[in-house]
A and B are shown apart, each in its own frame.
Chain A
Amino acid sequence: MAIKRSLGEKIFDVFNVFVLTIVCLLVLIPVIHVIAGSFSSTQALIRNQVFLLPVDFNLDNYKLVVQNRTFWNTFKNSVLLVVVGTAVNMVMTLLTAYPLSKSYLRGRKFFILAFVFTMIFHAPLIPTYILIRNLGLLDTFWALVIPPAIGMFNLMLCITFFRSLPEELFEAARVDGMSEYRILWQIAVPISMPIIVTLLLFYSVNHWNSYFNALIYITDRKLYPLQLYLYHLLAEANAIDNYRGVTTVNLDTSPQGLQLATIVVATVPIVVVYPFLQKHFIKGAMLGSLKE
Chain B
Amino acid sequence: MDRASSIPAPPEKRRSGPAGLLKFVVRNRALYIMLLPGLAYLVIFKYIPLSGSVIAFQNFNIFKGIWHSEWVGFKWFEQFFTYPQLRRLLVNTLLISFYQLLFAFPAPILLALLLNELRSMVFKRTVQTIVYLPHFFSWTIVFGFTYMILSVQTGLLNNLIESLGFERINFLQKAEYFRSIIVGTGIWKETGWSAIIFLAALAGISPTLYEAAKIDGANRFQQLLHITLPGIMPTIVILLLLRIGNILDLGAEQIYMFLNELTYKTGDVLDTYTYRIGILGGQYSLTTAIGLFKSVVGFLLMVLANRLSKKITGEGLY
Partner-B contacts on A (CB < 8 A): 5, 8-9, 12-13, 16-17, 19-20, 23-24, 26-31, 33-34, 37, 45-46, 48, 51, 92, 95-96, 98-100, 102-106, 111, 114-116, 118, 120-131, 146-147, 149-150, 155, 171, 174-175, 177-181, 184, 205, 208-212, 215-216, 227, 230-231, 234-235, 237-239, 241-242, 244-245, 256, 259-260, 263, 266-267, 270-271, 274-275, 278, 281-282, 285-286, 288-289, 292
Contacts and interface: CB of A to CB of B under 8 A. Distances in A.
A92 B37 CA distance: 7
Interface in B154-179: 154, 156, 159, 170, 172-173
B271 to A, nearest CB: 8
Given A123-B295, A124-B56, A126-B278, 7 more contacts: A9-B219, A30-B146, A30-B149, A98-B34, A105-B31, A215-B256, A238-B173
B245 to A, nearest CB: 8
B49 A123 contact: yes
Which 3 A/B pairs are nearest by Cβ-Cβ distance?
A124-B291, A96-B38, A127-B52
B147 A237 contact: yes
A27 B149 CA distance: 12
B278 A125 contact: yes
A24 B127 contact: yes
Given A27-B134, A184-B34, A263-B141, A286 B197 contact: yes
Contact of A180 (B14, B31, B141): B31
B145 to A, nearest CB: 4
A234 B8 contact: no
B145 A30 contact: yes
B273 to A, nearest CB: 11
A275 B197 CA distance: 19
Given A259-B144, A282-B196, A121 B172 contact: no
Nearest to A209: B138
Please classify how large the interface on chain B is, using the bins under 10, 10 to 19, 20 to 34, 35 or more: 35 or more
A212 to B, nearest CB: 5
Contact of A270 (B34, B137, B303, B318): B137
Nearest to B8: A174
B288 A17 contact: no
B130 interface: yes
B49 to A, nearest CB: 4
Given A211-B140, A267-B141, A289-B235, A126 B46 contact: no
Given A126-B278, A147-B45, A242 B117 contact: no
Interface in B200-215: 200-201
Nearest to A167: B11
Contacts of A121: 50, 295-296, 298-299
A211 B196 CA distance: 26
B182 interface: no
A102 B30 CA distance: 12
Interface of B: 1-2, 5-11, 14, 21, 24-25, 28, 30-32, 34-35, 37-39, 41-42, 44-53, 55-56, 62, 111, 114-115, 117-119, 123, 126-127, 129-134, 136-141, 143-149, 151-154, 156, 159, 170, 172-173, 188, 192-193, 196-197, 200-201, 219-220, 235, 245, 249, 252-253, 256-257, 260, 271, 274-275, 278-279, 284, 287-288, 290-292, 294-296, 298-299, 302-303, 317-318
B291 A125 contact: yes
A103 B298 CA distance: 30
Nearest to A172: B8
A31 B188 contact: no
A208 B130 contact: no
Contact of A282 (B132, B143, B152, B188): B132
A215 to B, nearest CB: 7
Given A34-B145, A95-B34, A211-B253, A104 B9 contact: yes
A264 B75 CA distance: 49
Given A131-B45, A209-B138, A216 B200 contact: no
Select the residue from B30, B45, B143, B299 with max chain A CB neighbours within 10 A.
B45
